Amino acid sequence: MVCPETSSDEPLTPAGRLFLQPETDLVIHCIIRGKNPADMDAIKSAIKSSLMVQHPRFCSLLVRDKNGFEHWRKTPIDIGQHVIVVNNRLDKSGNFIDQTQGSTTTEEDDEAAVNQYVADLSVSSPLSTDKPLWELHVLTAHKCAVFRIHHSLGDGISLMSMLMANCRRADDAEALPRMVPDKKTVIKGEKGRDWFWLFGVLWWLLKMVVFTLFFSMEFVLRSLLVSDEKTAITGGDGVELWPRKLATAKFLLDDMKLIKRAVPDTTINDVLLGMVSSGLSRYLDHRTPNVLHEGLRMTGVAMVNIRPQPGLQDLSKLMKSNTKARWGNKFGVILIPVYYHKGGNDPLEYLKRAKAMVDKKKHSLEAYFSYKIGDLVLSLLGPKYACMLNYKLLCNTTFTLSNVAGPLEEISLAGNPLSSIKVNTSSLPQALTMHMLSYAGKAEMQILVAKDIIPDPEFLAKCFEYALLEMKEAVLRTNKA
């Protein structure tokens, strides 16, 4: 929409302009499933009174001035334009089922139908600029809703924090969801600062400088020149336009925590990466047996929240412009290599390799470097060239991976208890993107694939699930020994 600029218009941030480029036009999808049938009056009433429609980003049109620069312009919200109701039941291919013939469906059929509906949205349905850049699709027959929110409005942490601010705990209608466990305060004695302490600090700083230089140089090379070797799961230029399929891998957080405790100082992210490495190796063995060489590198792209406070944020702090935990796109990018290995005797080797790599990444400033480089390119050269670099990085790598810690207990939205929450994004040049979110003791990973490259994402999901169970069994055997 091209309009003359007014004094009340607010210019987009450089990151917001990046996500409006055709090659990186990204929409975040949040799939929520209720335990009860959808009450449309309650849903619309909840939206009208929510913090979401009070936020300036959610009640502003995207307009362009005569010079082509984008701005946000406040506009009245018409809820009816944003809420799209689908009353017909869908089949596993995303097609409408003839209700007059009658049919019985399982929970797995329901999930597959919703997944395909979202997969189709991921490629063929950009958000209209005639209204603020968000929608809510309510699939009444599946007790499910899909939030579609443009990435220019904010990153995953901002948008999930917004959603959680409008939810309440299922066991307490007045309480906000708990995102992280309550931590016990531990009082430690102060250590003496001797020469050994000074040597340790200097060694730590030296490693940080070395790792930062190494990983930053690798990041630049991946953005410009170096690409992964081709495999059965490799995407590339133009693949973001190919048809998609979506599958879900399901895990228990208790299993992940059991494995985490088996290797000292391990995190859930380490377990996730070890599981992905094992699962991809298993899948590639199935697709191309005895073809790939041992140790083949597959590079992933991970988004890292660089706000001072990790995890989901207090919405009131995000909406203050003078706080470090501000609203918007505040993330850096790191490269996370995984390696193809044939199955061995110890499944935990995948975890140990992943942990060793992630420890080095944590010790570097790669995420901050990538954020500052992106900001600098956007400011000096504009979103077109920043988009070219970002797109090239995605073409040169194999997959995208993210993990967000969600509510600890079951929550409700508009008075309806939720049985699951899942997230993903619209399509990228990579043929494989994976987004995991934990909720009430479970973790579900959405696996979005280009179906002409990866035709069986359900099998890939099983590879990941089996990889976790294999690591769990290895831990239990060790504990019994």
| Active-site residue set | 151
Alpha carbon distance 222, 396 (integer Å): 6
Q: What is the DSSP string of 398-427?
A: SEEEEEE---SS-EEETTEEEEEEEEEES-
Written as one letter, the residue type at 317 is K
Alpha carbon distance 287, 37 (integer Å): 41
Please name which of 333, 240, 225, 244 lies closest in space to residue 24, comparing C-alpha atoms.
Answer: 240
Q: Which ranges constitute the DSSP H helices of 303-456?
A: 315-318, 348-362, 366-381, 383-396
Note whether 400 and 394 are within 8 A (CB).
Answer: yes
Note whether 350 and 341 are within 8 A (CB).
Answer: yes
Note whether 421 and 409 are within 8 A (CB).
Answer: no
What contacts 393, CB < 8 A, 6 or more positions away? 222, 223, 301, 333
